[in-house]
């Protein structure tokens, strides 16, 4: 037991020293309203323009030619995904892409929700805006901002939107939903200057909501979207009514210290049914080391890997599909199909296509470089999360969904979001009534 504890301490110290070496923890976060283009016009463009996805035949023919002329893949040494994506799995994805995936049909699907562009701080920001079709008895409209991450896009939330826009007898409100493409992702423009990290994106998205005359709203974020949501709540508490996330992040030093100190007696800080999610700590550290190669590469040399992926649709598909496998469930890397058979390949390829047709893979990876002035690890401990999230309303654990919950279990996620907002709305209503009575 003590040897184990010593090993854990050594690993934590090593990680701290490593990060301290390559990261400037004392760097002050700049959240000014930066203009992200090299030149600024005399008059800013504030027009909101409707948009529909319409990919040229030339782009589609070029993609088809690249897929058809691909070189054969190297035969994998094992039947699982422990060396990276297995060539059998990749062939399955590429064959589906070439023979069954129909972009023009998918394009119609992706255009099912109203989409727009508007210029914020020099960047053309793309977003979906689904306005509430409120019922007669459902007179309250709640605005919900949905934020994706990497390797995600607006496609992440289509099933979720369809569930949330349907009236629910169990809640006394309907949703107005905004889904932006993050700057440098998908159809949103990338900055021409360095420095656009998650706090700066928080400023841009706050300004987007203000452009839409929306001054109070909830946020649901996943991956980078969870970081941005956290920044928005901290920077603009008067605007953010509540934050919901399927990926809650910690960067509180005391949380890491407790994680190590209580590794010998985990029952002191978490319920026994959650112990397997965190301990043995050595196993979790080992998994992080094995699966974080992408993180170091994207946080140090994003353009190098970005160029390779931008020019090669099969490489792009391999890189993103592997993340859908391992991040959904760590055990899936030991399966011959990587667990991908549990997904509809149309959904994964929709997402890959958005990166391909917009040429945004390199600019999306740059967010890792910009952000890497701090280290956040995702943990699953109620008591540790409370050290960062001071007003934690609800915390739920689901066995059937991982990092990509919006794809794996959209019904569960929609139910959780609705329940979270219901709790907050009822609490706000009670507070309002008690304030009136006291006056």
Whether the link from the prior residue into 151 is cis, omega within 30° of 0, is yes
Catalytic position from the list 368, 371, 407, 416:
368
CB-count burial class (<10 Å; 0-12, 13-18, 19+) for 260: middle
Q: What CA–CA distance (Å, rounded) separates 248 from 226? A: 7
Q: What are phi and psi of 19, to 5 degrees?
A: -65, -40
Residue 118 tokens, joined: 């508007």
Q: Which residues pair with 82 in a beta bridge?
A: 84
Percentages helix, strand, coil for the chain (3-state, rounded to 5) are 50, 10, 40
Half-sphere exposure of 355 (CA within 13 A, CB side): 29
Residue 9 tokens, joined: 């301490």
Reported residue count of the chain is 439
Beta strands in 230-361 (DSSP E): 240-245, 249-250
> Can 276 be counted among the known catalytic residues?
no
Residue 13 tokens, joined: 């110290």
Q: What CA–CA distance (Å, rounded) separates 25 from 345? A: 41
> Can 403 be counted among the known catalytic residues?
yes
Please write down the long-range contacts of 70-77, taking CB distance under 8 Å and 24 or more positions apart: 70/94, 70/314
Whether the link from the prior residue into 153 is cis, omega within 30° of 0, is no
**DSSP 3-state assignment of 43?**
coil
Q: Which helix (H) or strand (E) holds 361?
A: helix 361-371
Catalytic position from the list 127, 217, 223, 407:
223
Let me know: does 405 contact 222? Beta carbons within 8 Å: yes
Q: 209: closest CA among 190, 194, 195, 228? A: 228
Catalytic position from the list 126, 403, 407, 416:
403
> Can 236 be counted among the known catalytic residues?
no
State the Cα angle at 310 between 308 and 315, rounded to 5°.
Answer: 60
All residues at 6 or more sequence positions from 419 whose CB lies less than 8 Å from its CB, including other chains: 394
Task: Enumerate the active-site residues.
Answer: 223, 368, 403
């Amino acid at each position: 037991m003590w040897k184990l504890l010593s090993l854990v301490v050594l690993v934590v110290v090593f990680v701290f020293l490593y990060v301290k070496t390559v990261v400037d923890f004392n760097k002050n976060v700049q959240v000014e309203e930066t203009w992200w283009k090299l030149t600024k016009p005399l008059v800013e463009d504030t027009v909101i323009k409707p948009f529909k996805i319409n990919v040229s035949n030339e782009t589609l023919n070029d993609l088809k030619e690249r897929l058809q002329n691909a070189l054969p893949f190297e035969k994998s040494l094992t039947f699982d995904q422990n060396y990276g994506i297995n060539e059998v799995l990749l062939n399955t994805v590429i064959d589906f892409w070439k023979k069954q995936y129909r972009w023009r049909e998918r394009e119609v699907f992706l255009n099912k929700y109203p989409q727009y562009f508007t210029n914020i701080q020099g960047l053309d920001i793309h977003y979906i805006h689904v306005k509430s079709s409120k019922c007669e008895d459902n007179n309250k409209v709640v605005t919900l901002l949905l934020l994706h991450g990497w390797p995600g896009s607006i496609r992440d939330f289509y099933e979720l939107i369809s569930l949330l826009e349907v009236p629910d007898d169990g809640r006394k409100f309907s949703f107005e939903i905004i889904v932006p493409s993050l700057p440098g992702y998908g159809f949103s423009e990338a900055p021409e200057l360095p420095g656009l990290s998650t706090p700066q994106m928080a400023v841009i998205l706050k300004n987007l909501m203000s452009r839409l005359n929306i001054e109070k709203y909830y946020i649901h974020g996943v991956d980078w979207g969870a970081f941005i949501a956290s920044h928005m709540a901290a920077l603009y508490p008067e605007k953010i009514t509540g934050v919901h996330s399927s990926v809650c992040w910690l960067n509180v030093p005391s949380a890491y210290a407790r994680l190590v100190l209580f590794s010998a007696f985990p029952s002191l800080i978490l319920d026994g049914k959650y112990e397997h999610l965190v301990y043995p700590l050595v196993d979790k550290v080992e998994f992080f080391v094995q699966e974080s190669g992408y993180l170091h590469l994207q946080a140090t040399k994003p353009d190098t890997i970005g160029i390779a992926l931008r020019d090669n649709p099969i490489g792009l598909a391999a890189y993103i599909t592997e993340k859908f496998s391992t991040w959904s469930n760590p055990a899936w890397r030991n399966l011959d199909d990587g667990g991908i058979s549990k997904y509809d390949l149309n959904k994964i390829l929709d997402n890959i296509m958005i990166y391909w047709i917009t040429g945004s893979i390199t600019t999306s990876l740059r967010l890792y470089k910009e952000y890497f002035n701090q280290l956040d690890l995702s943990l699953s401990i109620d008591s540790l999360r409370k050290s960062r999230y001071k007003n934690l309303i609800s915390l739920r654990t689901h066995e059937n969904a991982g990092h990509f919950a919006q794809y794996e279990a959209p019904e569960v996620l929609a139910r959780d979001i609705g329940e979270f907002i219901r709790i907050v709305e009822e609490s706000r209503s009670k507070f309002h009534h008690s304030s009136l009575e006291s006056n």
